Amino acid sequence: MQFNQRLNIKHSQSIVMTPQLRQAIKLLQFSNLELSSYIDEEIEKNPFLERKEIHNTPDLVKNSSIKEDYETDHRWEQTSKNKNTGFKYDEISNIEDRIPEAKKNLRSHLMDQILLEIPKGEERKIAILLLDLIEPTGWINLDIKNFSEKNNIIPEFTKSILKKLQKLEPTGVFARNLGECLRIQLNEKRLINKANFKLTENLELLAKGEIKKLCKITGLTEQNLSKEINSIKKLNPKPAEEFSDYNFRIDPPDVMISNTDKGWKVELNKSTLPTLYIQEDFADMVKKDNKKENEKKFVNESVNSARWLLRAIEQRNSTTLKIAVEILKQQKQFFKNGPGHLKPLVLRDVAKSVNMHESTVSRVTRSKLLQTPWGIFQMKDFFSSSVGENNQDEAHAAKTVRTLLKDLIANEKDARPYSDEQISKLFKDKGVNVARRTVAKYREMLNIPSSAERKRLMRLNKIINIDNSI
């Protein structure tokens, strides 16, 4: 009798998502303010974890050089005085004088109302998605059909949620255009009627000065039409204007890059980083006073959890700083010369340079703000595809083109808006080779009207006292 034995061995690899690993990933993608909120939650659950107040103290650790004219600040790194103190961060100087005073932004203001007015579930989910489309003016850039198809809901449901959002304060928010914004305010004041409804639907005629046509459409005499126009002048075409300076850039930066006498300096914003320590003496006392094994087990688990958290925060800070330094290296011309010099950059380029996975770089840059000599930008803004009409054109980042386009149009002279051809020439003067049709494409992406339409809007704005045209 013959027996054949066969042994098959298969090798496989898998990643087990432990709670600690999930926590580390979560910390990695947090902004400093989100991290601070998360720390507060952990302190509530862990009696041996304590936040240490930051006071103005002398710098304890000097900057260390990375390469030639690059510096990074390691003062956030953990230190350990003895075996009983556990992990803690050095006390650091506060730089609040370099950060604008926090003021509640438009999104937060509206979110508070959504949480109160709209019940949990699908309605609130859609409401928050619509909130993401809000503009600094308070208007919303929304195509109901496309939005509904994208989110797999019926258009009528989207309309019903939008109607609820349009009842929020300040009055006029979530309007899809100027006319709708004015009608919402008229309705709130109980001044809406058939005539001014028609008037707000035909504002382009008002911009052209077509008074006779407006009289015919509204059924009003010129005298009564004038009264309705004066009523409209008292309304606010930009209901969220009071929030405009604090809308999307209110949060302090997570990382700061500055040009110093010693070269470029990259540092984490220590004023928003949590400073933590573990009360190990207190933990030892609790274990000593309690003879129950389950209570001792709880103390040990809490202390170990706190130690892990501090190590994870350190790793998160180290990774963030490392990626910021690489962004500086890759986008050196931007930091030297401004937004017009942002070059194409993909996650893969940075990931390869810092020896990390692309997903890690993506998580770090997704929600963090970076302070530069040219203002505050999202870290993800430094990654973009290139634009150009042919291989001979100089490649430029798509986001750079959009930034320059918005700046050019924002600074147009009254009644003399730039044509797409003129904008293309102005781009070339700045060293950015973008064809006229490419300008038109990005103008449409930004929902900026054509030069002829902008001219009509400028005339309309003068009539109803709107300071800024777009």
Q: Which domain holds residue 401?
A: 384-463
What the block records as the tokens of 78 is: 């953990």
Q: Is the pLDDT of residue 388 over 60?
A: no
Compute the average pLDDT of residues 78-83: 35
Radius of gyration of the chain (CA): 28
Tokens 């509530």: give the residue.
44
Query: Does 274 map to a domain?
Result: yes
* Confidence at residue 36, expressed as pLDDT on a 0 to 100 scale: 84
Query: Does 123 map to a domain?
Result: yes
What the block records as the tokens of 167 is: 């009842």
Q: Is the pLDDT of residue 66 over 70?
A: no
- The 10s digit of each residue's pLDDT in 330-366 is 999 888 887 767 788 888 899 999 998 888 888 888 8
Query: Does 11 map to a domain?
Result: no
Amino acid making up residue 390:
N
Percent of the chain with pLDDT over 90: 9
**150 in the same domain as 42:** no
Query: Does 82 map to a domain?
Result: yes
- The 10s digit of each residue's pLDDT in 200-237 is 888 888 877 788 888 998 898 888 888 888 888 888 88
Query: Does 7 map to a domain?
Result: no
* Confidence at residue 63, expressed as pLDDT on a 0 to 100 scale: 38
**168 in the same domain as 39:** no
Nearest to 315 by CA among 76, 120, 116: 76
* Confidence at residue 244, expressed as pLDDT on a 0 to 100 scale: 47
**111 in the same domain as 240:** yes
**332 in the same domain as 218:** no
**75 in the same domain as 158:** no
Half-sphere exposure of 438 (CA within 13 A, CB side): 23
Compute the average pLDDT of residues 385-393: 46
Contact call for residues 210 and 107 (beta carbons, < 8 A): no
Q: Average per-residue pLDDT in the chain?
A: 75
Q: Is the pLDDT of residue 327 over 90?
A: yes
* Number of structural domains the chain divides into: 3
**238 in the same domain as 174:** yes
Query: What are the angstrom distances between the C-alpha of 188 and each of 166, 168, 183, 297, 336?
Result: 10, 11, 8, 61, 50
Contact call for residues 276 and 54 (beta carbons, < 8 A): no
Contact call for residues 56 and 307 (beta carbons, < 8 A): no
Q: Is the pLDDT of residue 1 over 60?
A: no
- Which is more confident, 411 or 319? 319
**199 in the same domain as 111:** yes
Q: Which of 210, 244, 278 is the last residue of a domain?
A: 244
Q: Which of 378, 396, 424 is the last residue of a domain?
A: 378
Nearest to 319 by CA among 12, 27, 91: 27
Cis bond before residue 170 (omega within 30° of 0): yes
CATH of residue 140's domain is 1.10.10.1330
Query: Does 8 map to a domain?
Result: no
**265 in the same domain as 343:** yes
* Confidence at residue 340, expressed as pLDDT on a 0 to 100 scale: 67
Percent of the chain with pLDDT over 70: 74
User: At 329, is the pLDDT very low, low, confident or very high (cuts 50, 70, 90)?
Assistant: very high
- The 10s digit of each residue's pLDDT in 252-295 is 889 999 988 888 999 998 888 878 878 878 877 877 776 677 77
Burial class (CB within 10 angstroms; exposed 0-12, middle 13-18, buried 19+) of 45: exposed
What the block records as the tokens of 35 is: 């991290």
Highest mean pLDDT among 26-35, 387-396, 399-408: 26-35
Query: Does 470 map to a domain?
Result: no
User: At 159, is the pLDDT very low, low, confident or very high (cuts 50, 70, 90)?
Assistant: very high
- Which is more confident, 410 or 131? 131
Q: Which of 369-373, 376-380, 384-388 is predicted least confidently?
A: 384-388
* Confidence at residue 17, expressed as pLDDT on a 0 to 100 scale: 58
Compute the average pLDDT of residues 95-111: 55
- Which residues, 6+ apart, have CB-to-CB distance to 361 below 8 Å? 323, 347, 350, 351, 354
CATH of residue 450's domain is 1.10.10.60
**311 in the same domain as 194:** no
Q: What pTM did the predictor assign?
A: 0.49
**310 in the same domain as 225:** no
- The 10s digit of each residue's pLDDT in 44-58 is 888 888 877 544 333
* Confidence at residue 102, expressed as pLDDT on a 0 to 100 scale: 40
CA distance 401 to 302: 51
**215 in the same domain as 111:** yes
**279 in the same domain as 194:** no
Query: Does 1 map to a domain?
Result: no
User: At 132, is the pLDDT very low, low, confident or very high (cuts 50, 70, 90)?
Assistant: confident
- The 10s digit of each residue's pLDDT in 408-424 is 887 787 667 888 888 88
* Confidence at residue 322, expressed as pLDDT on a 0 to 100 scale: 93
Q: Which of 362, 378, 394 is the last residue of a domain?
A: 378
